[in-house]
């Protein structure tokens, strides 16, 4: 029989450790004080019989008080209090098998979309969709981390937690330099979607450089009764029209709003009907300006789920002009894809970025299987941060994305294969001692014989697992096969199809491939094509085979760097 149980607990330490079993039924939990005020509220799968792990609930500010740990609609009984522990700290296992070495992950719990990216006073801030109370999607909050180089991250407590309006979905942050919102000059203002009975837009502000936030008293600031999918606000200041612009995902369109004070918003225009991919819901828009030596353009990122070029989620983009009210796309054969792999989604750029080139980061997973991947205490990671460049593509423009240059400082050992003419194959059977599955491969080659049909690059290990990259020269196509890459049976959707990407015809090719335990990120010809995919080998790939079919190539660079 289900019931509500109330467990009084005198708080004597910083954390309550709560036992969790992902195979049980989810419970709603509230921590309530003596005045009947709810201090913390969340959902979790409680268990005392088959505990898989503990979640750590920070109750430091309530030390010395008695709280009521309330579990609603549960089959547990009052004896559950024997299984709730109190500890001064809780350390999660960072050494689990598939935790990457140089990609961002949360210390514990589920993550998805990057949110609220901004730079200030020497620090890059990364917020992200976060479940601090479990390794599956739920309890959507904003996690928080900072970095000085976009590689080494310092984790902070969750910045924005669910409230009366619902969970805290994706959004963005701006620095209010002129005090337009009247919270003070240079206040950090966060805009996010409150997801309760309906999706509305909310505002929170921080006066301690983004460490903690206070919700605006008159939230929500933007409502649309007619839109079910109404989310993911991304803001920037538009200097020519002297106003703030908000891009908002509205079903299968992007709606632009304008404001002078960040609180009162006017609808400007709607983009997206009859253009691009419409196989799924549009999400996580980002409109920004980009220039090269000859021209300035506006770029609009739109993530879509499903509808990606290889199934599940992906990010498409549009190039055009923005006049402060309306986005007008260039006449290009859309959709254009930011990444052709299965595992790069919801990417957005940093606000107030100090670098000349826009820089973005994405969520490295796919909704087709994100809740099922074979990790233990964390679920999902972010992609490598990447710079964005505007490039000519015939009579139109496209984007090039490349991993940030700071990654070269992670290089330690180097394995160099001599340049040579290759007509059949070359095997590098063993390239590092203490191979932890974190390395970078640089491969440049020239097609010597025009009859060359394929160049195949295969990573493999001692238990016959392999990841195959097949470059089809004749048909201008890359095929990636992860059907034998390692663990794949955790989801029927993970490796059921091969992954296809363009491989445009040219004589010289440059490949840059990053492997980090459970991920592969390939950048072709200085980032004209990017392909990101998860992998779960049961041991690190330790050998490389390069094979040429029906012709020959000249290898001009073949270098492997171990990354720390």
Q: What are phi and psi of 371, to 5 degrees?
A: -75, -5
Contact between residue 417 and residue 426 where contact means Cβ atoms under 8 Å apart? yes
Catalytic pick among 113, 339, 343, 368 = 113
Active site residue 113: yes
Cα–chain center distance at 327: 26
Residue 221 CB neighbours (<10 A): 20
**Structure tokens that stand for 236 in this block:** 């920037």
Task: State the Cα–Cα distance between residues 362 and 129, nearest whole angstrom.
Answer: 12
Sorted by sequence, the CB contacts under 8 Å of residue 68 that are 6+ apart come out as 6, 7, 8, 9, 31, 32, 33
61 DSSP 8-state letter: G
Sorted by sequence, the CB contacts under 8 Å of residue 494 that are 6+ apart come out as 368, 369, 372, 482, 488, 534
Contact between residue 351 and residue 117 where contact means Cβ atoms under 8 Å apart? yes
Residue of 233, 178, 183 whose CA lies nearest to 205: 183
**Structure tokens that stand for 363 in this block:** 């969520």
Residue 19 CB neighbours (<10 A): 20
Task: State the Cα–Cα distance between residues 436 and 439, nearest whole angstrom.
Answer: 8
Task: State the Cα–Cα distance between residues 204 and 216, nearest whole angstrom.
Answer: 5
ω into 335 cis (within 30 of 0):
yes
Which residues are catalytically annotated?
Answer: 113
């Amino acid at each position: 029989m289900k019931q509500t149980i109330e467990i009084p607990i005198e708080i004597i330490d910083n954390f309550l450790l709560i036992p969790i079993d992902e195979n049980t039924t989810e419970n709603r939990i509230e921590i309530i004080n003596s005045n009947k005020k709810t201090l913390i509220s969340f959902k979790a799968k409680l268990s005392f019989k088959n505990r898989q792990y503990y979640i750590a609930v920070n109750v430091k500010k309530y030390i010395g008080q008695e709280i009521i740990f309330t579990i609603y609609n549960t089959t547990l009984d009052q004896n559950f209090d024997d299984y709730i522990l109190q500890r001064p700290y809780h350390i999660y296992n960072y050494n689990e098998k598939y935790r990457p070495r140089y990609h961002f992950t949360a210390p514990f719990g589920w993550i998805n979309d990057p949110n609220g990216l901004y730079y200030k006073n020497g620090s890059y801030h990364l917020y992200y969709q976060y479940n601090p109370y479990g390794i599956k999607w739920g309890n959507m909050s904003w996690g928080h981390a900072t970095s000085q180089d976009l590689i080494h991250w310092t984790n902070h407590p969750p910045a924005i937690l669910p409230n009366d309006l619902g969970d805290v979905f994706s959004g963005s942050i701006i620095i209010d330099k002129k005090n337009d919102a009247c919270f003070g000059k240079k206040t950090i203002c966060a805009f996010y979607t409150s997801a309760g009975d309906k999706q509305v837009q909310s505002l929170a502000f921080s006066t301690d450089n983004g460490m903690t936030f206070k919700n605006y008293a008159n939230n929500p600031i933007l409502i649309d009764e007619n839109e079910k999918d109404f989310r993911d606000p991304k803001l920037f200041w538009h200097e020519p029209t002297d106003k703030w612009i908000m891009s908002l995902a509205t079903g299968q369109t992007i709606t632009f709003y304008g404001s002078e004070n960040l609180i009162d918003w006017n609808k400007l225009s709607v983009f997206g009907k009859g253009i691009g991919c419409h196989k799924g819901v549009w999400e996580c828009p980002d409109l920004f300006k980009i220039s090269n030596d000859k021209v300035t353009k506006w770029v609009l990122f739109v993530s879509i789920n499903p509808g990606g070029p290889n199934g599940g989620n992906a990010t498409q983009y549009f190039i055009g002009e923005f006049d402060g009210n309306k986005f007008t796309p260039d006449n290009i054969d859309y959709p254009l894809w930011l990444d052709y792999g299965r595992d790069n989604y919801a990417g957005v750029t940093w606000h107030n970025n100090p670098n000349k080139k826009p820089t973005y980061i994405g969520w490295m997973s796919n909704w087709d299987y994100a809740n099922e991947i074979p990790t233990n205490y964390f679920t999902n990671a972010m992609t490598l941060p990447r710079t964005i460049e505007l490039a000519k593509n015939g009579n139109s423009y496209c984007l090039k994305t490349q991993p940030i240059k700071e990654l070269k400082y992670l290089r330690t050992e180097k394995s160099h294969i001599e340049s040579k003419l290759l007509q059949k194959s070359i095997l590098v059977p063993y390239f590092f001692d203490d191979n932890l599955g974190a390395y970078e491969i640089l491969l440049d080659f020239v097609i010597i014989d025009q009859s060359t049909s394929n160049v195949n690059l295969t990573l493999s290990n001692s238990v016959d697992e392999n990841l195959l990259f097949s470059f089809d020269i004749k048909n201008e196509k890359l095929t990636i096969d992860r059907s034998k890459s390692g663990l794949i049976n955790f989801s029927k959707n993970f490796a059921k199809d091969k992954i296809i990407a363009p491989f445009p015809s040219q004589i010289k090719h440059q490949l840059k491939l990053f492997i980090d335990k459970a991920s592969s990120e390939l950048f072709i010809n200085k980032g004209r094509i990017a392909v990101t995919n998860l992998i779960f080998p049961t041991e690190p790939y330790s050998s490389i085979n390069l094979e040429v079919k029906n012709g020959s190539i000249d290898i001009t660079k073949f270098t492997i760097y171990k990354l720390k």
